[in-house]
Amino acid sequence: MARKPRIHYPGAYYHVILRGNARQDIFSDDPDRYRFYLLLQEGTERFGHRIHAFCLMTNHVHLIVQVADKPLSRIMQNLSFRYTRWMNWRQNRSGHLFQGRYKSVVVDGDEYLLELVRYTHLNPVRAGIVKTPSAYRWSSHAAYCGTELIPWLTTESVLAEFSRKLATARKRYATFVSEGIGEGHRPEFHGCGSADTRLLGDSSFIERVLTAAEETPLLGRMTPEGLVELVAARYQLPHLQGRSHQHAEARAACAWVALETGICTLTELARILGRDISTLSAGAGRIRGCQEAAQGLGDLIEFVRKYTKAKA
């Protein structure tokens, strides 16, 4: 079954999980983690989103992100691409660092934000790394407790739920987190057990979100150039002109989506990508002949058709 397109609307809260490719480690030492912090900060400045909580584990990262106008896909593409470039430079290597498709769940902030922040900060405790969240350096828990300053982190929304007085709010927050230490895995925070795995909330929340998402396209236009940008984001590439196997695979996918949706001809696509038509046609044929590959691009097909129709 083809994946559904990601949901976007301004103000949406997401629980994001970014994993290492094949569960490989994504941090080798403290400088790597500090670099990741820097990229998180630069991302908030560039895209205008808020980060309400984070936890850097060895081979994956948890983030609670509240977006503005820019969709989460832009934010995560920028973050993963720049950090991968850093790691490849440090380790004198090339290739993928992250699993191809990050996990994200749109969460009803009014109902679940506090619990999700606690759940995020308790990750190292559930993993058996530490006994208390305060003993773990690489999460936003210390900033909530007031023992670390992270200027790009938004703590006000959560702390205000405990008290108007900051000192009181921090104490009550710390108590709230301690009370959850025995809490186990929460599958709902990972998109499990819901009719729509992209969402966590009651039926009225889901209806509001889907309505808002319908009214706010992820792209302002759908052109051949827009399709190329969309596919590049899917493959976590800055462009599709490279010579690597991943670039060739992405161009093949772009050609197949173009043919399936009628966005443009291969002649137009060849001009944009700087490749000959026969190569693009052969690539599209390979996608068409591989059921798994075709199904994996189903959400792109659905997305492009939807906004092509809307534009018409």
Per-residue pLDDT of the chain (312 residues; tens, 9 = 90+): 346 678 888 999 999 999 998 889 999 999 999 999 999 999 999 999 999 999 999 999 999 999 999 999 999 999 999 999 999 998 888 888 887 778 999 999 999 999 999 999 999 999 999 999 999 999 999 999 999 999 999 999 999 999 999 999 999 999 999 999 998 888 889 887 666 778 888 877 887 888 777 644 333 446 788 788 778 877 777 788 888 888 899 999 999 988 888 888 999 999 999 999 999 999 999 988 888 877 878 877 876 776 555 444
What is the predicted pLDDT for the residue at 47? 95
Number of independent structural domains in the chain: 2
Same domain, 22 and 154: yes
What's the rounded Cα separation, in Å, for the pair 215 and 238? 28
- Cβ 133 vs Cβ 121: under 8 Å: yes
For helices 298-311 and 224-234, angle between their N-to-C axes, nearest 10 degrees: 150
User: Is residue 91 one of the residues assigned to a domain?
Assistant: yes
Residue 136: name the closest of 51, 33, 234 by CA. 33
Residue 140: name the closest of 120, 124, 160 by CA. 120
Same domain, 152 and 252: no
What is the predicted pLDDT for the residue at 53? 98
User: Is residue 257 one of the residues assigned to a domain?
Assistant: yes
- Cβ 109 vs Cβ 47: under 8 Å: no
268-279 as b/e: b if 16+ CB within 10 A: ebbebbebeeeb
What's the rounded Cα separation, in Å, for the pair 120 and 124? 9
Query: How many residues are given for the chain?
Result: 312
Same domain, 199 and 280: no
What is the predicted pLDDT for the residue at 310? 42
Same domain, 250 and 201: no
Same domain, 159 and 257: no
| Amino acid identity at 241 | Q
Same domain, 164 and 229: no
